[in-house]
Amino acid sequence: MRKHILARAALVSTALLSASASAEFQRGYIYTVGSTTLFPFAKTVGEHFSKSHKKQLPLLQSTGTGGGIKLFCEGAQGETPDIVNASRAMKPKEREECQTNGVGDILEVKIGYDGLVMAQAKKAPPIALTRKEARMALAKWVAGPDGKPVANPNHTWKQINPALPDSPIEVLGPSAASGTYDAFVDLISDMECKGAPWVAAGKTEPSPDMLRKCRTLRDDGVYVEGREHDEDQLSRLNHAPGAVAIIDYKAYIDNMAHIRAVPIDGLEPTHDSIASRSYAGSRPLYLYVKGAHLGLTPGLKEYVGEFTSEHTWGEKGYLKSLGLIPLPAEERTTYVDAVKAQGIAPSLASITDAPPAKSWERSGKSTKTASKDTAKTTPHAAEPVAKSHKQ
């Protein structure tokens, strides 16, 4: 009798847990946060997904990569995001935070490449920079004459290189919450931070404090931090024609009539130089998906399948026209195999030019507020994944 009671209690408990888990996922749509660079890609994929699968449009919040990962790692509950779009790879400390909050099963897929571009107005005297020169312009701390870190003394381009103009250094860039900001810091700091004065004699790596110091950008007005969107940097560039703006490749090609790229280490950003990774500002773009949500959030598997379909991210896919630089075919195949291993089938839907009705775009509202609003509003687009990381 006791065994029967225990068995029935276990069944009831399991049913209650299952009902509870299902109840948490009654929002009925995919919820995505993250990078502004990936925003147009996620938006368009969401529209194709909704039209092809007759599903509600995903909710898309443009929070920046860092802010999106923070929301993503808050937990695995139903009100937390299913997907985060990232213009850089997730950092080890971010993975640790996810793990601490119960987000241990994360699917990752690299969806393509983008280029980080330093641009200037065409009416300004053209300049070209090396990564070291860009660092000498923008790092808060540089190596002094005695080999020790000193506050950056450079205020004109000519102080860095006599061949550059004798004009003030002014760089318009994204906020510290942006993946583009992190990518730029990587661009000018990765090699520098591996040597003196950042690495102590006899050591092979910098201490955490020295690494932080090496990777800090100026806060004395030379680097002007803007909003997440490239349009903000471009708008300010119109009012400061002698400045340099940090933008993504799509914004650059869309505005080539008025701006030019600053060559970095002798190369300009092009489709081929970014795809081959020969251009120093080439960077991969990622999607991260909660493995625990794959079987619970309606349409999540189909959405990931749409994102990783050849007609979406391939050489003739519709994302290429939006500025995505596709992965090589072999690498795309690797990620397709990875998502198939998770029970996700890339979509076979035909490409349609007409998107569904309007998408709902939000920027920066809190997760909990967003979930209250959705009953009256049609949500918007999301993103895909591969490689399983069980932490």
pLDDT tens for 364-390 read 433 333 333 333 333 443 333 344 444
Q: Across residues 212-222, what is the average pLDDT?
A: 95
What is the three-state SS of 109-140? EEEEEEEEEEEEECCCCCCCECHHHHHHHHEC
Q: Which two tokens stand for residue 28?
A: 């009925």
**Residue 85: is its pLDDT beyond 50?**
yes
Q: Are 84 and 111 in contact, with CB atoms under 8 Å apart?
A: no
**Residue 27: is its pLDDT beyond 90?**
no
Three-point CA angle 33, 36, 39, nearest 5°? 70
The confidence score (pLDDT) of residue 24 equals: 52
**Does CATH place domain 115-282 in 1.20.1250.20?**
no
The β-bridge relationship of strands 282-290 and 259-261 is unpaired
pLDDT tens for 138-158 read 999 999 988 899 999 999 999
Q: Which two tokens stand for residue 1?
A: 């009798």
CB count, 10 Å around CB of 260? 18
The confidence score (pLDDT) of residue 105 equals: 93
**Residue 14: is its pLDDT beyond 50?**
no
The confidence score (pLDDT) of residue 240 equals: 84
| Mean pLDDT estimate for the chain | 84
The confidence score (pLDDT) of residue 365 equals: 39
Task: Give the total residue count for the chain.
Answer: 391
**Does CATH place domain 23-114+284-390 in 3.40.30.10?**
no
**Residue 73: is its pLDDT beyond 70?**
yes
Q: Are 131 and 279 in contact, with CB atoms under 8 Å apart?
A: no
Q: Which of 90-99, 117-126, 138-147, 225-234 has the lowest mean pLDDT?
A: 225-234
Q: For residue 224, what is the enclosing H or E element?
A: strand 223-225
Q: Across residues 88-98, what is the average pLDDT?
A: 96
The β-bridge relationship of strands 223-225 and 59-62 is unpaired
pLDDT level of residue 227 (50, 70, 90 thresholds): low
Residues of the chain with CATH 3.40.190.10: 23-114+284-390, 115-282
Q: Which two tokens stand for residue 318?
A: 């519709």
The confidence score (pLDDT) of residue 237 equals: 83
